[in-house]
Chains A and B, each alone.
Chain A
Amino acid sequence: MRDKTPKTDKPIAVWSEKEFLNTDQLDALVVILRGRGCYWSSKSGCLMCGYSNDTTSGITEDDLQAQFTSAMEKYKGEGYVKIYTSGSFFDNREMTDDTREKILVMAGDGGKNHVLVESRPEFITANIIDRALEHVSSLEVAIGLETANDDIRKKCVNKGFTFANFERAATILKEKGVKVRTYILLKPPYLTERQAIEDAVESAIKADALSDTISFNPINVQRWTMVEGMWKKGLYRPPWLWSLAEVLKRSVEATDSRIVSSPSGGGSRRGVHNCKKCNKQFLEAIDRFYVTQDPSQLEFSCTCKAEWLDTLDFQEMMGTTGDVSKLLDIWE
């Protein structure tokens, strides 16, 4: 039988992927650390977030350092290192200054690498960023803004911070010459497909001035989340790939930021999906768009488009934000 006890001295995952820095394409090392978890997740929690499944409360500082050391064994001089903790890199509850510095030193590799970390805005202070910049010459901080609309962020995400909090943090980053990667959630619960598209595009436009990259995260239904409970009952459907393409096209036209998306679970029932016929080619096109930023790459035709258009036009009239197909209750 497989040992289900997580190894505390090994990261959850490490891989290499294509990425962009300014206009240059390069490889990036991605490290997912098994951390202690996001404080917000244990305090209240975002409706769609299942990352606490990947965290373990008893993780020690030594564990974290060992995890990162282990991850760097796969490092091949990528030039770009992304570090995710399923929480906030700058939260002292998740790691001490000492651990943070050690990780940054390893990741920065003597100023060779651009380093990306993720944090909620409340932990981003001038002080902590200054200290980080002592160890890393090129830093990027990703913030899960999710939406620029405070009402939607409160009601549909339960994120626990406001757009003003994001602005404050992003301004500090900008002033320090740190790049800002803004995550925008595509289709939080309680929104129709149409409302989700509008919210994502409006958010991109509002966040543009404070962002270098805007990355759209279409919801991936994660285990043990409220969204999963709704999804199982047909009360939530992850967004259509058509919607993601629409958001990317409109955002790239309307903003100066780099517009990207790396949907997790794309093409599956739990992730952003269309129909079996076109999921694959769509996802490939979104990957290509990541590189080219060319909206014409997202032009498609498939028979499922009419159903998506009907959803945009008539879902709200149906009085539900749920999965219309499932609610029809037909034997398929």
Chain B
Amino acid sequence: MLEVKLRDATIRSGTYTGDGWKLPIPNILFPESHRMDAPGYAGGILKESDGKDGLQMEIGGTSISLPAYSGVPNGYDPKGCELPNFTIKDKIAVIRASITDEEMIGLREKADIFILEGAAELYQNPFRFVEIMLRIREGIGYQGILYLPGVAMPHNIGVLLYLGADLLDATRVVFLTRKKMFLTSDGTVPNEDIDEGECACRGCDLDASANDRLREHNFLALQTELQQVRGKIAKRGLRQFIEYRAKTSPDLVAMLRLMDKRYPDFEEKRFPVIGPEFQATTRLSLERPDVKRFRERMLTRYWKPSDPDILLILPCSARKPYSKSKSHQKFREVIGNSRVGHRVHELIITSPLGLVPRDLELTYPAQHYDIPVTGHWYEDEKKMINVLLKEYLAINKYDHIIIHFGDDEIFGDQEYLDGAISTAGERPTDAQSLVNLQDALDNIPLLDSKPDWKKRTLEEVTNMARFQWGEDATDIFHGCNVKGRYPILKIRKGNKQLAMVSEASGFLIPTLDLAELMVEKDLYTVKMHDFDLIGNLFAVGVEEADPRIRIGDEICIIDQDGLLRAAGTAKMNADEMVQSTKGEAVRVRHKAKV
């Protein structure tokens, strides 16, 4: 049985426990024959069975025989010969790409490890490979271990795991070695192009035949990459890492791009809603699932505060949150000194996030990304920003738009911005630009209105809540008040505290009182089986879960009667906690008194 301990991006790590053996995942099996020993660091060994036919895995001294392959490549089924899509033996299944969704669902109970026959053949075509991989990953479920034979190389391990593999092997590396290829995390080059001294690994230093030396180098490169990915799962830096690695080969970029463009739901479901800082340095970062999720929520879960009628468009800052940066402090000083300052709503334009309203500047990933700022924008970025801004303005109405941005050319001749005033020169923070901004604000006719900061602050906090839990969360916060000094904010209703804002993620951390209100609205609830909840909630105890739940979400645990039992943080998404029988599903923060 598989127990997943850590997750990041679409990748997970954990341990599979078989009958007297344990296999950590992700992992790499190394081949062995009478002519070649597997390296000592191999997490598992592939060898011929002691009997005549078939293969076996050797994990920590235990031999596990594998079902036989059909030998038939996908799409070339023999004539007049019924060929099953899978064969199964002792909880291990060999599956073919033609396996149906129904067959896979049926296999979930019967098999733990799924070996995709012909993976090396499918890998030739990124389109087919991505399609088949994601279908199989979904089909076999979260509890299934997916083993891809014959595809792993140091530079593609990350992408293979990102596509849903758990287990790989070093067979391809053996053959590439025989073809005199030198492998690194950057890709595959002919060994003859490598000069002595270019690599300091212990394989290259081996006193052995040229082939053995190269093989050991290649094996070490493979194992090193595996261990690096494992480390990144814990540190949660995988998407960025995968983007770097993908760029070593057009096929890998193609796979990642296809996944991002064609199967966004697969990724979105698995990506945590909060995370650490990351670098958005490649064009692939534009399609980061958590970034896309932010852009999507901007249009579906965000409403501008009701009073402000002046939209001020600002550039982003390197320092996060933006309001802590010198540039934004200068802008805010001008706004603060203006008589219409309370009517201003600030909207930061940035890549890859698109639009970040001031009231969401804490919300992941608004304060967690770093980009190169040069004043030059890719057409993709310009298009993304204009599409978003146009849609945003169709939903959120302002009487006045001031663009204090600097790189106005990114807006081109957009009709939807007709009437907007542009105030910044090349440098939005220089004196002239700031004076222009001040003048523009001064030129806006005064209204007979008084600032209502209480209302404004509550609307801003409500926006954060809505961003987090969706539109249904809006009503809960009617009549609440917000205490504290930004960014340390507490939300109260009457004499009850409902939540506080996490400065690190912009997320609201609910108290049991808020959790009660969420349960009334069926918001982000997990229904547990009938037992006494002690400590955290494990997947085995989960009966149902709100399908919106993602890793990192603040959620409520309810019992069979629908009563609140606890509030906590999701460690799995909804599908995984329902499907799985092992592992922590919810880290409990507050337990309700029953």
Contacts and interface: CB of A to CB of B under 8 A. Distances in A.
Interface of A: 44-45, 47, 154-156, 158, 189-192, 195, 226, 229-230, 233-235, 306-307, 309-310, 313-314, 316-322, 324-325, 327-330, 332
Contact of A322 (B33, B81, B120): B120
B174 A316 contact: no
B289 interface: no
B54 to A, nearest CB: 8
B411 interface: no
B118 interface: yes
A47 B181 contact: no
Given A190-B70, A319-B119, A155 B149 contact: no
B127 interface: no
A83 B40 CA distance: 60
Contact of B124 (A314, A327, A330): A327
A319 B181 CA distance: 21
A235 B35 contact: no
Give me the 3 closest cross-chain CB pairs, A-B, nearest first: A319-B149, A318-B150, A190-B71
B208 to A, nearest CB: 14
B120 A192 contact: no
B169 interface: yes
A256 B116 CA distance: 43
Interface of B: 31, 33, 35-36, 46, 48, 55, 69-73, 76, 78-81, 83, 115-121, 123-124, 149-150, 169, 171-172, 174-176, 178-179, 181, 188, 211
Contacts of A154: 78, 80-81
B67 to A, nearest CB: 12
A318 B171 contact: yes
A155 B81 contact: yes
A328 B179 contact: yes
B149 A327 contact: no
28 contacts: A45-B79, A47-B78, A154-B80, A155-B78, A155-B83, A158-B80, A190-B70, A230-B76, A233-B124, A235-B76, A235-B121, A306-B178, A306-B211, A307-B175, A310-B175, A310-B178, A313-B35, A314-B33, A318-B150, A318-B169, A318-B172, A319-B117, A322-B73, A325-B179, A327-B150, A328-B175, A328-B176, A328-B179
A224 to B, nearest CB: 15
Given A229-B76, A235-B76, A191 B174 contact: no
A313 B69 contact: no
Contact of A313 (B36, B78, B169): B36
A320 B150 contact: yes
Contacts of A317: 31, 46, 55, 149-150, 169, 171
A322 B48 CA distance: 19
A44 B79 CA distance: 8
A310 B150 CA distance: 13
Nearest to B74: A235
A319 B33 contact: no
Given A233-B73, A324-B120, 6 more contacts: A155-B83, A156-B78, A313-B33, A316-B69, A325-B179, A329-B124
Contacts of B81: 154-155, 158
Contacts of A309: 35
Contacts of B83: 155
Nearest to A160: B80
Contacts of A235: 73, 76, 121
A185 B69 CA distance: 21
Given A44-B79, A319-B118, A313 B73 contact: no
Contacts of A332: 179
Contact of B179 (A45, A192, A318, A330): A330
B76 A327 contact: no
Contacts of B123: 327
Contacts of A192: 71
B68 to A, nearest CB: 9
Nearest to B153: A328
B431 to A, nearest CB: 58
A191 B71 contact: yes
A143 B124 CA distance: 39
A313 B31 contact: yes
A192 B188 CA distance: 26
A47 B76 CA distance: 10
Nearest to A311: B175
Nearest to A151: B81
B121 A234 contact: yes
Given A47-B78, A313-B36, A321 B73 contact: yes
Contacts of A47: 78-79
Contacts of A155: 78, 81, 83
Contacts of A45: 79
Contacts of B117: 319-320
Given A191-B71, A317-B31, A324 B169 contact: no
A328 B174 CA distance: 11
B174 A310 contact: yes
Nearest to A332: B179
Given A309-B35, A313-B36, A314-B33, A158 B79 contact: yes
Contacts of A156: 71, 78
A192 B71 CA distance: 7
A321 B174 contact: no
Given A306-B178, A319-B116, A320-B121, A158 B71 contact: no
Contacts of B31: 313-314, 317
Nearest to B118: A320
A156 B70 CA distance: 11
Contacts of B119: 319
A44 B81 CA distance: 12
A282 B132 CA distance: 42
